[in-house]
Amino acid sequence: MRRLKDMELGKTTSLCPECLKLLQATLYEREGKVWMKKTCPEHGEFEEIYSGSYEWYKRAEKYAMDGRGIENPQVTKEEPSCPQDCGLCRLHLSHTALANVVLTNRCDLVCFYCFFYAQRMGYVYEPTLEQIEQMFRVLKEERPIACNAVQFTGGEPCLREDLVEIVRLAKSYDFDHIQLNTNGIRLAHNPELVGKIREAGVNTLYLSFDGVSEKTNPKNHWEFPLTLEHCRKVGLGIVLVPTIIKGVNDHEVGEMVKYAFKNLDIVRSVNFQPISLVGRMPRNERSRYRITIPEVIERLEEQTNGEITLEDFFPVPTAMVISRFIEELTGKPSYDLSSHFACGAATYVFKEDGRMIPITRFVDVEGFLEYLKEKTEELRKGKSKTLIKLKLLTSMGKFIDSGKKPKDLKLGRLLYHLLIRRDYGALGRFHLKSLFIGMMHFMDLYNYDVERVKRCCIHYVMSDNRIVPFCAFNVIPEWYRDKDQESQGIPIEEWERRTGKKLKDDLYKRDVEKLKRTEAYRKFEQDLREIRSGLY
C-alpha cells in the first residue's frame, strides 16, 4: 500500500509483464527515489524502481527536449498504438541516431543470461547481403534526417565469413560511423581480421567488458587484452561496454574507468549499461540485481574518491541544445539525440598530470548551454547570423576557466570549429583528447515506459525493413525480434546440411593458461596493479 508521503510525479503508459496488456502507470517519489506503479486487472499490482535518485531525475528532466519526428513514417495507420505498431510511425519523435543490424544469431559463447543465440532458438538467422543492402537503403531514405551510424551486432557478428564485405557495403552507403558490437574473442585470435575490418570502414569496436576480474568478466577476461592490443596497432578505437549488475560487478566501475583512462590512446569511451531484467522475475530478485543510472554514477563517485561525481553528468537530450543552435545557424535539419531524459547520461573526462578532470571542473556547462539557448532564440527571431557568430566567438571564453583546464586543450578553438565553422572533425578531435563516459539504461517489462519508446533514437532495422526502437525490439521479442528472425531463419539441421558445418563447432574452447602467458595479458595485469597501488 502506498504511503501518504509518496509524491506523484506524473502518469505514463506501461505494459503488464505477464500478458503485455497496455496499462496506465504512475511515477512517484518515495524516500529520494522514483518508482513506477501499475495494476493489471488479471495479474495484479507491479511496483518497480524507475530511478535511484529523485534529485537526478528532476535535474535530468530540465533538459527534456523532443525531436521533430519522422516525415516519411513506415506505419501509415491513422491511429497507431505504441509499442504494438512499430516500425517508425507518426507517434515517434526521434530519427534513427544509431541503427543496429543483426548479422547473425550464432555465437561462440553460451552465456547463461542470454536468450538470443541459435542453439536456444532452434534456427539460424543470417540476412543475406541483398537483405542487408536493402536495410541500408531504408535507413538512408529516412527523413528529415537520414541515418548516419550503423552498428553490426549479433549473436557474434565476427562469425560471418563475409563480415569485411558487409562493412565495405556499409561504407559505400556513406555511413559516417560504422561500429562492430563484439565479445572480441575471434579478433583476439585473428589480428589480420582486425586490420581488415579497420581498413574496410569500421571506426569503433563496441567491446563487451563486464569487469576487470575473472569473476566479473568470465565472457572475455583473458582474450580482451589481446583484442585491445590488436586494435592499438591499427588505430581502431574501442568503446568498453560493461553491463552493470548490482552485487555482481558494480564494485568495479571505478577500476573499469581508471583502466580505460590509462589506455586513453585507444579506448574512446566506457558506456555503462545498467542491467535490463528480461524474462519473468519475482520482486525480491529484481531488487537484488536492479541498479539505475544515478546509482552507477554514485558507485563511480565512491570508487574514484570524488574525482567523478553525479553533478558531472548530463542527460542525453542535453546535446540537442547544441544541435538546435547549429540548425538555426545553417537552416538545415540537424542530427538530434532526442531520447527521453531518463534513457541515458554522459560526461567527458580529460587527463592532466595523471588525474581525471571532468569537463564540468573547468567549463560552466550549464551557463554555456543557457547562452546557446538564448542565441538560438535570437536566430529564430531573425537576428543576424554574422552578429550571433561574433558574439559567440567573443563570449566563449567567459565559460572556460583557463586556469583549471588541461594545458594542452584548446577548447575555445575546438568549439569555434564545431559551432561556427561546422567542422565535425573538431568533434572527433575533442573525443581523442578525452574519455567519454556514458550511461544507457535499456528498459524491461517491469519499468517499461511508452514515453521513452516514442523518443528512442537507437533502433533496429529488421529483415522486413521496419525500423523498430531498441526497447520494443528486445523487450518484446515475441512481437518483433524473434517473430522477424524466425520467419527468416533456417532450422539448425537444414543450415548444417546446406553449409556442411556443425553449429557446435562455433563454440569457443578456451586455453586459459596459454592466454595468461601472452604479453598483452601481462600488460593488462600490470595496468591493474598500478591502478590498485595508487600509481595511476
Overall size of the chain counted in residues:
536
Dist CA 81 CA 171 (whole Å) = 35
E strand or H helix at 88, and its extent?
Answer: none
Both 335 and 223 in one domain: the answer is yes
Please report, in angstroms and rounded to a whole number, the separation of the first and last CA atoms in the chain.
49
Q: Strands 344-352 and 434-440: what pairing?
A: antiparallel
Residues 102 and 32 in one domain: no
How does pLDDT run along the chain (536 residues), one tens digit per residue? 455 579 999 999 999 999 999 999 999 999 999 999 999 999 999 999 999 999 999 999 999 999 999 999 999 999 999 999 999 999 999 999 999 999 999 999 987 666 566 667 899 999 999 999 999 999 999 999 999 999 999 999 999 999 999 999 999 999 999 999 999 999 999 999 999 999 999 999 999 999 999 999 999 999 999 999 999 999 999 999 999 999 999 999 999 999 999 999 999 999 999 999 977 677 888 999 999 999 999 999 999 999 999 999 999 999 999 999 999 998 988 889 999 999 999 999 998 888 899 999 999 999 999 999 999 999 999 999 999 989 988 898 899 998 998 888 888 878 877 777 777 676 677 777 899 999 999 999 999 999 999 999 999 999 999 999 999 999 999 999 999 999 999 999 999 999 999 999 999 999 999 999 999 999 999 999 999 998 76
Query: Is 357 in the same domain as 468?
Result: yes
pLDDT the model gives residue 535: 72
Residues 43, 111, single domain; the answer is: no
* Close Cβ partners of 242 (under 8 Å, ≥ 6 residues apart): 209, 210, 211, 249, 253, 256, 270, 271, 272, 273
Same domain, 342 and 254: yes
Q: 211's torsion region: left (phi>0), alpha (psi -120 to 50) or beta?
A: left
In a domain, 378, yes or no: no
Identify whether residues 140 and 11 lie together within a single domain. no
- Looking at the fold, whether 23 and 110 belong to one and the same domain comes out as no
Residues 45 and 104 in one domain: no
Q: What is the pTM of this model?
A: 0.95
In this structure, are 40 and 122 located in the same domain? no
Q: Is there a single domain that holds both residue 179 and residue 265?
A: yes
The pLDDT score that the predictor gives to residue 278 is: 79
Residue 2 covered by a domain: no
Distances (CA, A) of 360 to 45, 80, 349, 405: 42, 42, 9, 10
User: How many domains, in total, are found in the chain?
Assistant: 2
Q: Same structural domain for residues 227 and 330?
A: yes
Q: Domain containing 141 — which CATH number?
A: 3.20.20.70
Residue 19 lies in a domain: yes
Q: Which three cell numbers stand for residue 298?
A: 554514485
Q: Is 165 helix (H, G, I), strand (E, B) or coil?
A: helix
Whether 25 is covered by a domain: the verdict is: yes
Tell me whether residue 515 is in a domain.
Answer: no
Task: Report if residue 92 sits inside a domain.
Answer: no
List, in sequence order, every residue forming a beta bridge with 13; answer none if it has no partner.
24
Residue 383 lies in a domain: no
Instruction: Assess if residue 497 is contained within a domain.
Output: no
Which range marks the domain in which residue 32 is found? 7-51
Q: Specify whether 179 is located in the same domain as 44.
A: no
